[in-house]
Amino acid sequence: MINKFSHIVLLFFLLAVFCGSAKAQTLRTNLDIFFDLLKQESRALENKGEKLKVIAENPEFIALANFANNLKASRSAGDTISAVIDTAFTVYPEIHRDGFFGEYFFTRKIMLRLNYGENTRTLSFADTLAADKQSEIENSALPFTRGELPAEPFWESIVEPVVFIVTATAVVFALFFGRS
């Protein structure tokens, strides 16, 4: 009885260790990153004693302006600084493979340009994601959150497999016909 009990306890312990250590990675959408950039800008101005008011002259940026204007200040701010969203866009400039026959990954770059009248400030973010996650991070209703993946590179899509097959064939040929 004790032997069965100790095996069950050991099994639960191992499951807890292995399952508990695997953390699910939350995938940040492009819109979440735009919101984070606006939060950072708002906090930076708040630290100077100013409050950010964002104006969207382009109708597609209204969601960003509404989000920024509804941010709660952690302390009372003095002057209100107005900024117009000049541009906001997402691009995927490059795609690459992880390893020889590995999964495709792409670089995500997000840019947000705020115009403060005489000054312009560009906020940006970049990271790398698996290519199959593209549809999960984009918001189809907001064009600035979408980008187009580039075509697979010629070397990785055609030449690498051909080189691998030729090399494997040469090794097999050498093993079977290279005997003296």
Q: Provide DSSP, 32-84.
A: HHHHHHHHHHHHHHHHTT-EEEEE-SSGGGHHHHHHHHTPPPSS---SEEEEE
Is 56 a domain residue?
yes
DSSP state of 155: I
Please give the pLDDT value at position 11: 58
Q: 């906020």: which residue's tokens? A: 123
**Phi and psi at residue 15, to the nearest 5°:** -60, -40
Is 3 a domain residue?
no
Is 7 a domain residue?
no
Q: 């906001």: which residue's tokens? A: 88
| CA-CA-CA-CA torsion sign (94, 136, 35, 69) | positive
- 21-30, 67-76, 77-86, 119-128: which is most confident: 119-128
Is 106 a domain residue?
yes
Overall size of the chain counted in residues: 180
Range of the domain at 81: 22-170
Q: What is the pTM of this model?
A: 0.73
Other Cβ atoms within 10 Å of 34 Cβ, number: 28
Is 110 a domain residue?
yes
Q: What is the pLDDT of residues 122-156, one digit of tens each?
A: 999 999 999 899 999 999 999 999 999 887 766 66
Is 2 a domain residue?
no
Is 148 a domain residue?
yes
Q: 């010629």: which residue's tokens? A: 154
Q: What is the pLDDT of residues 55-69, one digit of tens each?
A: 999 999 998 999 988
Q: What is the pLDDT of residues 79-103, one digit of tens each?
A: 888 999 999 999 999 888 887 677 8
Number of domains forming the structure of the chain: 1
Is 65 a domain residue?
yes
